[in-house]
Amino acid sequence: MKTEKLNSTFNDLDKDHYLQSFKRFPVTFDHGKGSRIWDVEGNEYIDMLAGIAVNSVGHCHPKVVKSIQDQAAKLIHISNFYLSEPQVMLSKKLVELSGLDRVFITNSGAESVEGAIKIARKYAHSIGKGGNIISFENSFHGRTLATIATGKKAYQKGFEPIPQGFSQAPFNSLEDIKNASDRNTAAIIIEPIQGEGGVNVANKDFLTELRSFCDDQQIVLIFDEIQCGMGRTGKMFAKEHFGVEPDIMTLAKALGGGVPIGAILSNEKVSATIEFGDHGTTFGGNPLACAASLATIEIIETENLLQQAEEKGAWLQAEIAKIEQAGILEVRGLGLMIGIEFNFETKSLVQKMLDFGVLTNSTANTVLRLVPPLNISYEDLELAMDALKRSLK
């Protein structure tokens, strides 16, 4: 029996069969192109969410599609007992772009953070230190047990016992970091721009001082650039805005143009402590995902998406600043990673914008998050702004 192509039909089937861990909007998407996406009933939307900062080169970019098609016809998976050209070339490219020395390719952001924690702890133990990890309030690093241990208490509820050796400090406060650190502190992990926490940008002086403190105390500094990396902020990596180099950096989301892939990048100091068998992955770094990632990076570079992100982000912030008497408290972000904080909860605003055909997201209760494709047209940005104004009315 053929399934009727209605949003309600698929919504009912989802409720019957899928683990109910997502509070979904009852919309079933069928296909996308660029910054536009269509549901199974033919309704068209402008995508200002990009799969939560994943589809940075837009939906189904022809070069990404072709790279996947070509690679799928050649070789999809071989395991990491062997080499593949796409993995080798992606590793080389990421080292060149980042200025770090080593790469480990994963399947997701959470897996990248888990691996970063392992590398940091291995280094710390090699110099006689403990393995404690400090993260920041309102941070988000994933949904696995170790990554929820770094995050909000709300995500830990019901999953006790939570792994030990994790603590938090207030964002942008070096004094609190100093008070929280001791001989057993292996690493400090920070998002240069907190995504789920409400698009909170780290203070440049704070990151500079944090780097110096970590150097003095032999603490590994980890930058989580899973959401803010890969051109999102107008630089290939957000760290470039601050002039601060981490020991380890985690990537995912936009790295594969929509294909699941993540990466851990690390300097030689910490990388040198990893021995054969210390870490591994079955699917991480498979030829298919690496080919998609190489195509995505090429698009970012050849289509000037860094410049586009910077310019369009500035245009968006200027347009938002023109909106009057709408309960806007603050506009934050860099490039096309923008958070608008309101004096009310934004879930109903997201629903209203969806009704007007624009995909957005509510985060940190009162923040509207805008992370569209970097190559979104000004026409679509204008339509999205119009929908925001209409929704606020």
Percent of the chain with pLDDT over 90: 98
> Rounded to an integer, what distance in angstroms lies between the CA atom of residue 359 and that of residue 370?
9
Task: Report pLDDT digits (tens) over 69-127.
Answer: 999 999 999 999 999 999 999 999 999 999 999 999 999 999 999 999 999 999 999 99
Residues 6+ apart with CB under 8 A from 359: 37, 45, 46, 47, 48, 49, 353
Task: Report pLDDT digits (tens) over 262-300.
Answer: 999 999 999 999 999 999 999 999 999 999 999 999 999
pTM of the model: 0.97
- What is the reported pLDDT for 2? 79
- Mean pLDDT over all residues of the chain? 97
Structure tokens at 197: 């926490």
In total, the chain counts a number of residues equal to: 393
Structure tokens at 210: 């944090």
- Backbone phi and psi for residue 299, each to the nearest 5 degrees, phi listed first: -65, -45
Residue 49: pLDDT above 70? yes
Task: Report pLDDT digits (tens) over 154-203.
Answer: 999 999 999 999 999 999 999 999 999 999 999 999 999 999 999 999 99
Q: Would you place residue 61 in the very low, low, confident or very high pLDDT band (cuts 50, 70, 90)?
A: very high
Q: Residue 378: which H helix or E strand, with range? A: helix 378-392
In the DSSP assignment, the letter for residue 255 is G
Q: Would you place residue 308 in the very low, low, confident or very high pLDDT band (cuts 50, 70, 90)?
A: very high
Up-side HSE of residue 182: CA atoms within 13 Å toward CB? 7
Do β-strands 358-359 and 44-47 pair in parallel, antiparallel, or remain unpaired? parallel
Q: Is-cis flag, bond preceding 161, omega within 30? A: yes
Structure tokens at 160: 């006790």
- What is the reported pLDDT for 272? 98
Task: Report pLDDT digits (tens) over 232-271.
Answer: 999 999 999 999 999 999 999 999 999 999 999 999 999 9
For residue 105, the cross-strand partners are 263
Q: Which of 246, 237, 236 is nearest to 208 (CA)?
A: 246
- What is the reported pLDDT for 1? 67
Q: Which of 231, 283, 223 is nearest to 247 (CA)?
A: 223
> Rounded to an integer, what distance in angstroms lies between the CA atom of residue 87 and that of residue 133?
30
Residue 325: pLDDT above 90? no
Helices marked H in 201-304: 204-217, 239-242, 268-271, 287-302
